[in-house]
A and B are shown apart, each in its own frame.
Chain A
Amino acid sequence: MTSPAAGAASRATLPGYVLRPTRGAYQGLSPTTKLVIAFAEAAIAFGVRGWTGPLAVLVVLALTAAAAGVARRMAPFALATIPLVISILLVNTLLYPGATDVIVRVGPLAPTYSGLTAALQATLRVIAFALSAAILGLTTPTDDLLADLERRGLGRRGTFVIGSAIRMVPRMGERAAEITDSQRARGMDTEGGLSRRVRGIVPLAGPMIFGALTEVEEQTMALEARAFSAPARRTVLRTLPDSAAQRLLRWVLFLGAIAAIAAEIAGVLHLP
């Protein structure tokens, strides 16, 4: 089989939209550095008890989002946590184990201060986690992150798992919208009160789950058909940024997060 014209190949260069220079200082960081930052933020938010951990992380996230110019695009990610936040608030406030400091009794319900405090702290942690992932996603093309991780020794399977997880989020959202539209077109009422919306989840869940499973199988075959499992080292189209300062920052963040969690577990930290 003839190969593409050798002359064309020899003078070939990548177009500008592939080389795309990064805009902004935060976007210009190495994808792995941004991943480690997101990891450290999530680890501290969840690992350090009380208010200090999640609040400190949220402050850092707000500053980072402003510096990266993505603050206005963060809202959907925070809103996406609402279902989880509602369940956290309900379960903890009403069913917190051992709590006796009742706020008010309403029939059989007895919300407690301890439960509410734990619920609000957990809510801040969840939001901090969501926003740390959001900043990573909004400032880092998935392909760049995967290429950088692979360059650092993470196998293709590992990069595929991470890549699949990242791209599954918007795809699931689109699929949910498609299924909801098609259910509506067949007469199902998904608007209105809470009970109606809850009933609407049932016909949505089945097609979502089975459709996703089918897609995964097809995608796996498609990747195999495009030499995804080839043993050769993948070609990197453009050089990704990195520096000695960033390497140092990554180690400091990584070890710092581990140290903070260890200190918390050991009871050394006494933060509010």
Chain B
Amino acid sequence: MSGVTLALSGATYRYAGTPRDVLAGITLEVTPGRVTGLVGPNEAGKSTLCLVASGLAPASIGGRLDGSVTMDGTETRSLKPHELAQRCGVLFQNPTTQLSGTAVTVYEELAFGPRNLGLPIPEVVGRVEWAMAMLGIEALAPKDPARLSGGQAQLVALASVLALRPAYLVLDEPTSQLDPQGTRLVGEALAHLAGETGTGVLIVEHKTELLAALADQVVVIDGGRVLESGPAAVILADPRLAELWIEPPAAVRLRRALSAAGLDPDAALPAGALDPVAAASREDGGPAGPAGAMDRRGGGEHRA
């Protein structure tokens, strides 16, 4: 494994006071500038994997971790929580518990992390405004964080993580409370982060449309083990995912339906119609087209 990466190698984790390993020998890599999607059924260990990958487990919640988890070659166990926070941002499923609870405005909520680092005010302001612009939430800035809708809170929580400017992002269902427009915004922001700033992203997501458009690779886990991993388009088209109740992207379903009807999908539809990015755009209510803002891979490089 290269030195510049977030890497889990044979990571086995067990929560404190429990007899069972929740993760069993997980090996995966999150590299700068690339997005790794993580899918799996309920209780597969996805959220636990997020905690382990971000270093919060066992540092903050205890438990037993075997194997290796490194960030840029350094074992996460040897890093202090604030050092981890600057290297790896983590977003949990519930955005309300992620907010500081002490900020009067969303602006100050976003400033919470940079202020903790003791950054000078111009730097704090620059980071806050940049994070808001990334997610298009400037209009929320003067609002009370305690009075946000679930979707707004999720965007604010994500922006709060971005304001720390971590090299890696670990996101546990960042769009679970978002409408199609919000989902698209998050997708575009993550694509920009990975493509323009070289952020390595690990994202747990049930919306396979988003992963099809965004992820370079997808890892499937169940029972705390990696079942398979590979290019997103290949993995998301794997028919075995149905056994795990993971619905493939619309493009894959359409291709299968056309094939089942005895038609050649490539001949039956206009060029680009089965591009996952185009499909994601249509399903999210955005403009259709093969060159959407989330397309980071250049012309459907991984098309199934």
Contacts and interface: CB of A to CB of B under 8 A. Distances in A.
Interface of A: 1-6, 8-10, 12-15, 17-18, 20, 141-143, 146, 163-164, 167, 170-171, 215, 217-235, 237
Contact of B129 (A12, A20, A230): A12
Contact of B117 (A14, A227, A237): A227
Contacts of A224: 56, 59-60, 81-82, 84-85
Contacts of B114: 235
A229 B115 contact: no
Contact of B142 (A8, A15, A146): A15
A235 B126 contact: no
A226 B116 contact: yes
Given A1-B167, A15-B107, A227-B85, A235 B120 contact: yes
Interface in B117-143: 117-127, 129-130, 141-142
Given A230-B85, A235-B120, 8 more contacts: A8-B129, A143-B104, A220-B60, A224-B59, A227-B117, A227-B164, A229-B80, A232-B116
A95 B85 CA distance: 56
A227 B86 contact: yes
Interface in B66-117: 80-82, 84-86, 89-90, 92, 94, 97-105, 107-108, 111-117
17 contacts: A9-B125, A12-B121, A14-B121, A18-B108, A142-B102, A217-B61, A220-B60, A222-B92, A224-B60, A225-B81, A225-B98, A227-B81, A227-B86, A227-B116, A232-B118, A237-B111, A237-B121
Nearest to A11: B122
Contacts of B121: 12, 14, 235, 237
Contacts of A146: 102
Contacts of B115: 234-235, 237
A16 to B, nearest CB: 9
A234 B114 CA distance: 9
A225 B115 CA distance: 13
B199 interface: yes
Interface in B182-239: 196-199
Contact of B124 (A164, A223, A229, A235): A235
Contact of B54 (A8, A12, A225, A228): A225
Name, among A1, A143, A220, A222, the residue most crowded by chain B CB atoms within 10 Å (CB to CB): A222
A166 to B, nearest CB: 8
B165 interface: yes
Nearest to A162: B102
A136 to B, nearest CB: 15
A208 to B, nearest CB: 15
Nearest to B125: A12
Contacts of A231: 82
A100 to B, nearest CB: 51
Given A9-B126, A163-B101, A225-B89, A230 B118 contact: yes
Contact of B197 (A2, A141, A217, A223): A2
Contacts of B164: 226-227
A1 B102 CA distance: 29
A20 B105 CA distance: 11
A230 B80 CA distance: 9
Contacts of B49: none
Given A9-B122, A18-B108, A225 B90 contact: yes
